[in-house]
Structures are given as structure tokens and as C-alpha cells.
């Protein structure tokens, strides 16, 4: 079954707890918190405090997507704040094997994200250590961007690589996921979909946004 993971990036932060509860009640499988430092990506968002706040409003698994430089410095902060999955960017992690081991030692699930221009080969030596690979379908930094269709063959190749390695990790995609693009990503091999604006920007509300995504995959 394809998992739907709303990203709170597009939520109304003035009523974040309510928006978190809405997504959970509407059947979200996990929630993703987009952490941005203004250096790895041009935007600045939230840190461990917001993970802690979200944690108090749901029992859903929380993914901390660290779009930051030196993510290894903050792993224990996000683990203590209540993240269940910690996703670091390969492009920001020169000692990626050690970083993955650190996440594992904190008792959290491990995720590695790669940007659209980053080749799959960078995952080769660690793929079997991962619980999740996040194949970005936009250049990270902002919600509401256009899905980069050129990533579809990359998703297919990544699915082939996971199968070839006998790896058990999720293939997650993030960026521009909507009712129109979700089926394309799943057909290419994704089994976890992160969606921000398609959920929190739906004019009929969060439940409608999630339902629209699920209907597109039916």
C-alpha cells in the first residue's frame, strides 16, 4: 500500500496542533517536518522545538527531513524531540555511513535524501543500511513547486537498485506531489508520498486533500 505523508511545511502554523490532528484523523500514515537552515536550502523553517510540539498532538510516526548543513550535529536533538525517522541529505553528509550509524544508535529509523541532480550511485554503499531513501522531485526549499518530471526515470532506476540490492527500504518522493503526479511517481516505483500543498492547500481542507491523493492512486 502506498503511504501518504503530509508535510507540515504548508500548514497554518498559527494552528499547527489542529492541522496535525486533522491530518491524523484524515488517515495520514506519517507526518513530515521540513527542517531548513537557510544554508543547505535558501529557506529557514523550524527546528527540534516544533518536532516536540507536533509530537504532543499525534501518535503518528514523525519524519524529520533535515535540509540543513552538518545534520550530524543535531541528530540527538531531533531524536529527543520525538522524531521517529531522521532523514539527512547525502549532499550535506561527507561521513554518511557514520551519520546513519548515529541515527541507528539513537534508536531511530534512518533516511537519506538526494536532490534531483544527485546521481543514485552515492547511495550504493549504504542502501542496505537504510529504512528509507527520499528521492526529491523538486529542488528543496519551498512548498508548492512544480514536480520535476525528469525525476521519473530516476525513481524507476532507484526502484531497480533497491530490488537488485535486496534492500528493504522505502522509496519516498517529495515535492510537487498531487493527484496528477502521485500516480506517475507510484508507477515509477515510489511507495511513500510526501505532500504539503496538495494536503494543506486543498480548498476543501486537509481531509479532502488526502482523500484526493488516495483516490488518484486507487
Q: Where in the sequence numbering do the catalytic residues fall?
A: 34, 174
Tell me how far, at minimum, the Cβ of 128 lies from ligand DX5, in Å. 25
Beta strands in 101-182 (DSSP E): 109-114, 132-136, 170-174
Residue 174 touches ligand DX5, criterion: CB under 6 A: yes
Q: Could you tell me if 172 and 190 are in contact, meaning their C-beta atoms sit under 8 angstroms apart?
A: yes
Residue 145 engages ligand DX5 in binding (rule: CB under 6 A): yes
By beta-carbon proximity to ligand DX5, the closer residue of 77 and 139 is 139
CA dist 188 and 115 (Å) reads 17
Question: Is residue 34 at the binding interface for ligand DX5, with CB under 6 A as the rule?
Answer: yes
Q: Which of 20, 45, 142, 155 forms a contact with ligand DX5 (CB under 6 A)? A: 142
Q: Confirm or reject binding of residue 54 to ligand DX5 (CB under 6 A).
A: no
Q: How many residues bind ligand DX5 (CB under 6 A)?
A: 21
In the complex with ligand DX5, the residue whose CB is nearer, 75 or 177, is 177
Instruction: From 69-77, 100-108, 115-123, 136-144, give the range in contact with ligand DX5 by CB under 6 A.
Output: 136-144
Please state, in angstroms and rounded to a whole number, the distance separating the CA atoms of residues 142 and 2.
24
Under a CB-based contact definition with an 8 Å cutoff, are residues 30 and 23 in contact?
no
Told to check if 143 binds ligand DX5 by CB under 6 A, we report yes
CB-count burial class (<10 Å; 0-12, 13-18, 19+) for 174: buried
How far from 90 is each of 2, 24, 43, 142, 187, CA to CA, in Å? 24, 30, 18, 19, 25
3-state SS assignment for residue 136: strand
58 binds ligand DX5 (CB under 6 A): no
Residues forming contacts to ligand DX5 in the complex (CB under 6 A) are 7, 9-10, 34, 65, 138, 140-145, 174-177, 194-198
Amino acid at each position: 500500500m502506498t503511504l501518504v505523508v503530509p508535510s507540515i511545511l504548508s500548514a497554518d502554523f498559527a494552528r499547527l496542533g489542529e492541522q496535525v490532528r486533522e491530518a491524523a484523523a484524515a488517515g495520514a500514515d506519517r507526518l513530515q517536518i521540513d527542517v531548513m537552515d537557510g544554508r543547505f536550502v535558501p529557506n529557514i523553517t523550524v527546528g527540534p522545538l516544533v518536532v516536540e510540539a507536533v509530537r504532543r498532538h499525534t501518535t503518528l510516526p514523525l519524519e524529520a527531513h533535515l535540509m540543513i548543513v552538518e545534520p550530524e550535529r543535531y541528530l540527538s536533538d531531533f531524536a529527543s524531540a520525538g522524531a521517529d525517522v531522521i532523514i539527512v541529505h547525502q549532499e550535506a553528509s561527507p561521513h554518511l555511513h557514520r551519520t546513519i550509524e548515529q541515527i541507528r544508535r539513537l534508536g531511530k529509523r534512518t533516511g537519506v535524501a538526494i536532490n534531483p541532480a544527485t546521481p543514485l550511485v552515492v547511495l550504493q554503499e549504504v542502501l542496505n543500511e537504510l529504512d528509507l531513501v527520499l528521492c526529491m522531485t523538486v529542488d528543496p526549499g519551498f512548498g508548492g513547486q512544480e514536480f520535476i518530471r525528469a525525476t521519473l526515470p530516476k525513481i524507476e532506476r532507484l526502484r531497480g537498485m533497491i530490488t537488485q540490492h535486496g534492500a528493504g527500504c522505502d522509496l519516498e518522493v517529495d515535492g510537487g506531489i498531487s493527484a496528477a503526479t502521485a500516480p506517475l511517481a507510484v508507477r515509477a516505483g515510489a511507495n511513500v508520498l510526501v505532500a504539503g500543498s496538495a494536503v494543506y492547500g486543498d480548498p476543501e481542507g486537509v481531509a479532502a486533500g488526502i482523500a484526493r491523493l488516495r483516490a488518484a492512486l486507487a
